[in-house]
Amino acid sequence: MASPGALARATALRREIERHNYAYYVLDAPTIPDAEYDRLFRELQALEAEHPELVTPDSPTQRVGGKPLDGFAPVRHAVPMLSIRTETDTEASGARAFDARVRKELGLDETDLPVEYAAELKFDGLAINLRYEHGVLVAAATRGDGETGEDVTQNIRTVHAIPLRLAIDTPPAVLEVRGEVFMRRDDFERYNERQREAGKPTLVNPRNGAAGSIRQLDPAIAAQRPLSFFAYGLGEVQGWNNTPATHSATLDALAVLGVPVCGERITGLGATALIAFHDDIAARRDQLPFDIDGVVYKVNRFDLQRELGFVTREPRWAVAHKFPAQEELTTVLGIEVQVGRTGALTPVARLAPVFVGGVTVTNATLHNQDEIDRKDVRVGDTVIVRRAGDVIPEVVAVMLGKRPDPAPPRFNILQSYPVCPECGSHVVRLEGEAAARCTGGLYCPAQRKQALLHFASRRAMDIEGLGDKLVDQLVDRGLVRTPANVYKLNLETLAGLERMAEKSAANLLTAIETSKATTLARFIFALGIRNVGESTARDLALHFGSLDKLIAATEADLLAVRDVGPIVAQSIIQFFAEPHNLGVVEKLRAAGVHWPESTGLQQSAGILAGKTLVLTGTLPTLTREAAKEKIEAAGGKVAGSVSKKTDYVVAGAEAGSKLAKAQELGVAILDEARLLALLKPNNKNGQHALDF
């Protein structure tokens, strides 16, 4: 049985990985280096392997990350486009480990012949599935989540390297070719030079250039980008005579059909061949005309691939062997901060330009104050810069022997930025947190979109229709600066926005008007106070009964609230100490946002004060959420699992293991009728009011 700590860690890892998946696959805006993502993924895999009961259907280990964008039609892959395992051991031992795993799975010992492998490059672009029917290109789709991708046929047709018709007289009925769309370095540089001369935006790097081009909604933009393509495998195949028996023969056959295939590949026997290929490519990496971040090994014979099969989301017969992250020396010219969507101030080193991993780097993340202190990074230092995972440059270490004399002063975020550079609100760093944060959550421009989306979310103010794309338009056009501005929107303004018909605008205005009548708990949660989740917001509303009492609460007052500790208390105090936030709250009230208030538990303890209940099964009339709200309104706490500390288990139809656990521990069991009887206002002592 997994410990609560293991469960909590697995849950946190899933959320973090999915967040990074969304940023990488959907937004094309990576938030962490590949190496760090791989570490998080391996940690989750190890946890789930040790505790199989932690595996959930929505775990990132059970599927490939990402999902289709709204702007493209979804395409269901006939054969899933699964990713392959990443070997982050960049030494020869990484290749040996893969060979050892394969031999073990095949039941081979030292006396058996070595396995034949195909080795090729790991391109740095966008994975694509090309579907040819009777030799003609009819569709192209991105990987997406592995099962469903995005229809990018029109954009793919603009890539001249991809044949529109296969070079064969009697083509297969269906032949799906899988490969990578990428941008050569020389094409990338020429394109950016033309853009600079025309005063237009340049591309960040070849990988983003390729991915961003294919996922443009306007094919005309994709047509302007110089893209290339290499095939590396197959999807669905029907009616291909003399189908090759090996991976290498398949690539040879595709080349004959006119499909581009990279010549930098080999077939060889055992780990020795893999190591030689890895070392050869690593030595020539910078001379290649395109970016790669490793090599790929595959068992060459398809019959052996079928025998090896798959494990969760990955084939046992293939692995991507990473190269070491590329590093260079440069000088720190300055240290500034960037304010993120959640208010975190991320320190950034401004660098003397240096070419790392195929890109000229002028900025590198310093992560947070702890990392600055640990590495002792100062303005004027000579530092090692790594393009970690070939995505986000970071400062790895300081060359102390090259430090100027006298030594530059240490950098401190709170001293250099006592107020937010975006909005002027106070910057704080809570005990136990790595990041310094702006306290102007409802006011800060950097946090504006995130604050609005949270404010309008279903469990907060529940403004249906106020989603990501609409918030982007409202903020980018300066129509909404704080949540209070939402209540000043009118039909004419909304109907004039992109993709907003008059009916949609009217529906949104109705949702905005309806949201004015809310609850104190929802309103507190909607404010987006750091560390105040939905459950804490309910506890605060129940305890204080009115917003004014919460705003005026001291730290001692807050610590008297159930489950509120020093960090949460400080977050609340700092939020309401910021005049900008108080101003927005008053404007919301003036706009008509209201809720019923009470005396609070400071004067009224509540029927279920101090009691813990667990809900299980389906109740006749109450939803799980409604039952929870009633219990919490009466001062009770709803827990997710049954223990000796549980006072009641409320069981409905199809109650499962929680009911059995309650019976085993002798915990009192209620049905819906008994729960409602327990909650009656004239019930002064619920524990003794029912006959058990």
* CA dist list (Å): 678 to 400, 579, 652: 69, 43, 16
125-157 tens-digit pLDDT = 899 999 999 988 899 999 988 889 999 988 888
Q: How far apart are CA 413 and CA 394, in angstroms?
A: 18
Q: Give me 324's structure tokens.
A: 């070491």
Please confirm, yes or no, whether 637 is among the known catalytic residues.
Answer: no
Q: DSSP for 275-301, please give it.
A: HHHHHHHHHHGGGSSS-EEEEEEEESB
Mean of the pLDDT values across residues 79-91?
85
DSSP one-letter code for 165: B
Specify the pLDDT at position 455. Answer: 95
Q: How far apart are CA 130 and CA 143, in angstroms?
A: 11
Q: DSSP for 91-133, please give it.
A: SHHHHHHHHHHHHHHTT--TTSPPPEEEEEEEESSEEEEEEEE
242-293 tens-digit pLDDT = 889 999 999 999 999 989 999 999 999 999 999 999 999 988 887 888 888 8
Q: Please, which residues have CB within 8 angstroms of residue 283's CB and are 6 or more apart in sequence? A: none
Q: How far apart are CA 23 and CA 581, in angstroms?
A: 29
629-667 tens-digit pLDDT = 888 777 788 888 899 889 999 999 888 889 989 999 999
Q: How far apart are CA 621 and CA 626, in angstroms?
A: 9
Q: Give me 320's structure tokens.
A: 């991507």
What average pLDDT does the chain have?
87
CB–CB of 413/337 below 8 Å? yes
Predicted TM-score (pTM) of this structure: 0.45
CB–CB of 372/411 below 8 Å? yes
Q: Please, which residues have CB within 8 angstroms of residue 117's CB and are 6 or more apart in sequence? A: 99, 267, 268, 269, 270, 273, 274, 297, 298, 299, 300
CB–CB of 580/443 below 8 Å? yes
Pairing status of strand 344-356 against strand 327-339: antiparallel
Least confident of 20-34, 190-204, 361-375, 618-632: 20-34
CB–CB of 266/277 below 8 Å? yes
CB count, 10 Å around CB of 200? Answer: 9
Which residue carries 């102390």 as its tokens?
400
Domains recognised in the chain with CATH numbers: 4-62 (1.10.287.610), 92-322 (3.30.470.30), 327-416 (2.40.50.140), 422-604 (1.10.150.20), 612-689 (3.40.50.10190)
Q: Please, which residues have CB within 8 angstroms of residue 649's CB and are 6 or more apart in sequence? A: 613, 614, 615, 616, 642, 658, 659, 662, 667, 668, 669, 670
Q: How far apart are CA 109 and CA 112, in angstroms?
A: 6
Q: Give me 41's structure tokens.
A: 């993924």
The alpha carbon dihedral of 49, 50, 53, 55 has a sign of negative
Specify the pLDDT at position 436. Answer: 92
156-197 tens-digit pLDDT = 888 888 888 888 889 999 999 999 999 988 888 888 888 767
**E strand or H helix at 455:** helix 448-456
More confident residue, 93 or 67: 93
Q: How far apart are CA 51 and CA 5, in angstroms?
A: 12
In the chain, the percentage of residues whose pLDDT exceeds 90 is 49
CB–CB of 145/67 below 8 Å? yes
DSSP one-letter code for 592: T
Of 67, 104, 122, 549, the catalytic one is 122
